[in-house]
């Protein structure tokens, strides 16, 4: 039995992960137990792990709300002979065997820059809306966006980077100001989830849909109406169903001794052969949601 725990079991993002996990469980002929807090509750996650230890499950796969707190309970599970893997949000490395990593900062940065270049036909001005100028993940993504820009796209020009404080309204006002300051702007790239619909709303209200492209990191449900209206071209994240699918395959293989420490590659059903970086199993390049596929996803 493989026990899968999200941060919150009613969250549409994790329910989408569960669809892939269920599919993998059927293929592998294993029983899947899915449970978690109703909301993001770290203490409840610990309680559920304790129950699973008592139940004697074969493997536990978790997305941690509190990295430190959950690790203590997971170490206890490992001592009881239970295989532990993390997905989506990691725990301490000594509290699990592997982490199923949905996307690397390099992959995110490169995908954003490549998609921007494609939509801009390889030339012109673009601007970036970020959450803050200091957030660690944003800085890491920016580093890879700028490296890709310098490496591959000499005719593209990044004219400005503006913080939105992770707020849709501020992203909208920043996007409006950017379009005014840079009349030749061809694309707005938002690298925080509230920034994408914020930028799209600004473009729509300015009557510049199609002339100023919008892309960014975000969730399908927050951006669906803008994508279907032709305002937002691409929303980039990862395929959550594939994340759940891979997590169950990894947990099963580690339990059976087919996936061991030091492995360089791992075969996961329909996903084929995937790379490992140390004890991180890499899902692959981020997923691009667009008008052609966005209605297949609900999170």
Average pLDDT over every residue of 93-103: 95
pLDDT at 171: 97
pLDDT at 162: 97
Residue 203 has pLDDT above 80, yes or no: yes
Looking at the structure, tell me whether residues 170 and 201 fall in a common domain: yes
Residue 274 has pLDDT above 80, yes or no: yes
Looking at the structure, tell me whether residues 115 and 15 fall in a common domain: no
pLDDT at 291: 96
pLDDT at 69: 86
Residue 294 within a domain? no
Last residue of a domain, one of 221, 237, 253: 237
Residue 296 within a domain? no
Looking at the structure, tell me whether residues 177 and 116 fall in a common domain: yes
pLDDT at 65: 85
Looking at the structure, tell me whether residues 109 and 214 fall in a common domain: yes
Looking at the structure, tell me whether residues 23 and 87 fall in a common domain: yes
H, E, C per residue of the chain: CEEEECCCCCCHHHHHHHHHHHHHHHHHCCCEEECCCCCCCHHHHHHHHHHHHHHCCCEEEECCCCHHHHHHHHHHHHHCCCEEEEECCCCCHHHCCEEEECCCHHHHHHHHHHHHHHHCCCCEEEEEEECCCCCHHHHHHHHHHHHHHHHHCCCEEEEEEEECCCCHHHHHHHHHHHHHHCCCEEEEEECCCCHHHHHHHHHHHCCCECCEEEEEECCHHHHHHHHHCCCCCEEEECCHHHHHHHHHHHHHHHHHCCCCCCCCEEECHHHCEEEEECCEEECCCCEEECCCCHHHCCC
Residue 255 has pLDDT above 90, yes or no: yes
pLDDT at 42: 85
pLDDT at 40: 76
Residue 290 within a domain? no
Looking at the structure, tell me whether residues 70 and 110 fall in a common domain: no
Last residue of a domain, one of 213, 237, 261: 237
CATH of the domain at 180: 3.40.50.2300
Residue 106 has pLDDT above 80, yes or no: yes
Q: What is the pLDDT of residues 110-166, one digit of tens each?
A: 999 999 999 999 999 999 999 988 877 788 899 999 999 999 999 999 999 999 998
Looking at the structure, tell me whether residues 128 and 75 fall in a common domain: no
Structural domains counted in the chain: 2
Residue 291 within a domain? no
Residue 17 within a domain? yes
Residue 289 within a domain? no
Residue 292 within a domain? no
Looking at the structure, tell me whether residues 19 and 129 fall in a common domain: no
pLDDT at 79: 98
Looking at the structure, tell me whether residues 270 and 160 fall in a common domain: no
Residue 115 within a domain? yes
Looking at the structure, tell me whether residues 115 and 29 fall in a common domain: no
pLDDT at 38: 87
Looking at the structure, tell me whether residues 243 and 225 fall in a common domain: no
Confidence of residue 266 (pLDDT cuts 50, 70, 90): very high
Domain limits for position 96: 2-102+239-284
pLDDT at 104: 87
Most trustworthy range by pLDDT among 6-10, 25-29, 236-240 = 25-29
Looking at the structure, tell me whether residues 33 and 54 fall in a common domain: yes
Confidence of residue 168 (pLDDT cuts 50, 70, 90): very high
Last residue of a domain, one of 206, 221, 237: 237
Average pLDDT over every residue of 25-46: 93
Residue 298 has pLDDT above 80, yes or no: yes
């Amino acid at each position: 039995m493989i026990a899968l725990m999200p941060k919150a079991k009613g969250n549409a993002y994790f329910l989408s992960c569960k669809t892939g996990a269920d599919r993998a469980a059927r293929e592998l002929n294993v029983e899947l137990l899915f449970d978690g807090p109703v909301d993001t509750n770290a203490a409840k996650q610990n309680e559920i792990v304790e129950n699973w230890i008592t139940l004697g499950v074969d493997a536990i796969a978790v997305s941690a709300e509190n990295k430190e707190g959950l690790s203590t309970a997971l170490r206890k599970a490992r001592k009881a002979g239970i295989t532990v893997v993390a997905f989506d949000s990691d725990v301490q490395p000594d509290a699990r065997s592997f982490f199923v990593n949905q996307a690397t900062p390099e992959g995110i940065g490169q995908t954003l820059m490549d998609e921007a270049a494609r939509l801009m036909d390889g030339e012109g001005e673009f601007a970036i809306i970020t959450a803050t100028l200091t957030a660690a993940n944003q800085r890491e993504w920016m580093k890879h966006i700028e490296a890709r820009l310098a490496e591959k796209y000499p005719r593209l020009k990044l004219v400005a980077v503006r913080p939105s404080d992770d707020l849709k309204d501020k992203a909208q006002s920043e996007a409006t100001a950017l379009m005014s300051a840079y009349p030749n702007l061809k694309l707005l790239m938002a690298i925080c989830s509230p920034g994408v619909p914020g930028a799209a709303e600004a473009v729509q209200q300015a009557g510049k849909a199609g002339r100023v492209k919008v892309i960014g990191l975000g969730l399908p449900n927050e951006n669906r109406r803008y994508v279907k209206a032709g305002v937002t071209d691409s929303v980039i994240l990862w395929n959550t169903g594939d994340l759940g699918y891979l997590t169950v395959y990894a947990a099963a293989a580690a339990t059976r001794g087919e996936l061991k420490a030091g492995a360089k590659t791992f075969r996961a059903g329909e996903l084929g052969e995937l790379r490992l970086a140390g004890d991180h199993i890499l899902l692959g390049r981020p997923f691009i949601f667009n008008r052609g596929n966005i209605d297949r996803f609900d999170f």
